[in-house]
Amino acid sequence: MSEPLLSIENLITRFPTKRGRLTAVDGVSLTLERRETLGLVGESGSGKSVLGLSVMRLVQPPGMIEAGSIRFAGTSLLDLSTDEMRRLRGQRLAMIFQDPTATLNPVLTIGEQIGEVLRWHLPSIGPAELRERVVEMLDRVGIPNARQRFGDYPHEFSGGMQQRVIIAAALILNPALVIADEPTTALDVTVQAQILDLLRRLKDGEPETAIVLVSHDLGVVGEMCERIAVMYAGNLVEVAPADDILDDPKHPYTVGLIASIPRLDREVGALNPIPGRLADPVTPPPGCKFHARCAHAFERCRVERPVLKTLVPGRQVACHLHD
């Protein structure tokens, strides 16, 4: 059990654009243990979704993984044939997307869409057993009257219920790794809490499921996850246990992210945004990509790119301030 469930080494994913090659994931290394819940946070465009899609090998062409390795449960994902990779998806690796309404096909019933996972991975399954297992799963994700709703179409469900259906499809085969890409962003706040609670309960009931929760919301991630990885402009800038990162952030970007969370328990004041904009991913600045927005930047930050270094076991940060 010494080998981690997922280990990503120096992953680079790029998209060719008219202006040049856009580097969405720029040399990310990350490991994930079995049963772990890892939060992946960062602002829009930081590359967190592309990192998730890279692990699934679902980066949309012309984007492609240019370098690095992804080892999942002992196999190198980037060396698998497309067919071998397809067999892993849905069975060992699953993904939950942001917008439940867009993720479900409007012309197929939810029973058909969840059943599709079973039909692909268990070809010998009969229609009665398939129906039984789908209904049981719908019940587990909290869809009332699951048996009656098997034949309903997606538009007959609310957004929160649709997300439950998607979670049912993702988890029906007990995958070892679930990548949840902003699963609650499109939902209103009360439903958000229900969905997160559902994910947590389902995970606790499984012997080996690990979750990567991609989000721009540190509050959500802090509540759900054991560890948090902060991403900025395609790089990991800080990786640490959730409590440590929230109580004592090391990287100036993480400090800024936490400061920008609106707080109800403090005096009412202006929001605290991080000044400036995300570094251009086509022509990134030299040195640390965050230096233009960083209050603590000094000469070295403008010329040398910091690498992720271990401060204490379990805490990593990429910043010259912590050398």
Residue in this structure with the two tokens 């869409």, named with its chain if needed: 113
Comparison of 52 and 306: residue with beta carbon closer to other proteins: 52
Nearest to 157 by CA among 105, 102, 101, 202: 101
The DSSP bridge partners found for residue 12 are: 26, 67
* CB 81 within 8 Å of CB 38: no
Distance CA 272, CA 261 (A): 8
Site for other proteins contains 107 (CB under 8 A): yes
User: Which residue from 252, 94, 114 is spatially nearest to 174, judged by alpha carbons?
Assistant: 94
Which residue from 28, 41, 110, 117 is in contact with other proteins, where contact means CB under 8 A? 117
Residue 95 binding other proteins, by CB under 8 A: yes
Q: Do residues 48 and 229 touch, judged by C-beta distance below 8 A? A: no
The DSSP letter of residue 181 is E
Cα(178)–Cα(212) distance, integer angstroms: 6
Q: Does 94 bind other proteins (CB under 8 A)?
A: yes
CB of 255 to other proteins, least distance (A): 34
Instruction: Identify which range of 64-72, 96-104, 246-254, 283-291 contacts other proteins by CB under 8 A.
Output: 96-104
Assess 109 for contact with other proteins (CB under 8 A). yes
d(CA 178, CA 100): 16
155 binds other proteins (CB under 8 A): yes
In the complex with other proteins, which residue's Cβ is closer, 76 or 148?
148
87 binds other proteins, rule: CB under 8 A: yes
The yes or no reply on residue 123 touching other proteins (CB under 8 A) is: no
Rounded to a whole number of angstroms, the CA Rg of the chain reads 21
| Under rule CB under 8 A, residue 56 binds other proteins | yes
Chosen residue from 29, 120, 185, 321 binding other proteins by CB under 8 A: 120
DSSP 8-state class, residue 293: G
Is residue 17 a contact point for other proteins (CB under 8 A)?
A: no
Closest CB 99 distance from other proteins, rounded Å:
6
Contact 56, 93 (CB under 8 A): yes
Please pick, from the candidates 5, 110, 143, 166, the single residue that binds other proteins as defined by CB under 8 A.
166
Q: Which spans of this chain sit near other proteins (rule: CB under 8 A)?
A: 56, 58, 60, 86-91, 94-95, 97-99, 102-109, 112, 116-117, 120-121, 139, 145-148, 151-152, 155, 166, 169-170
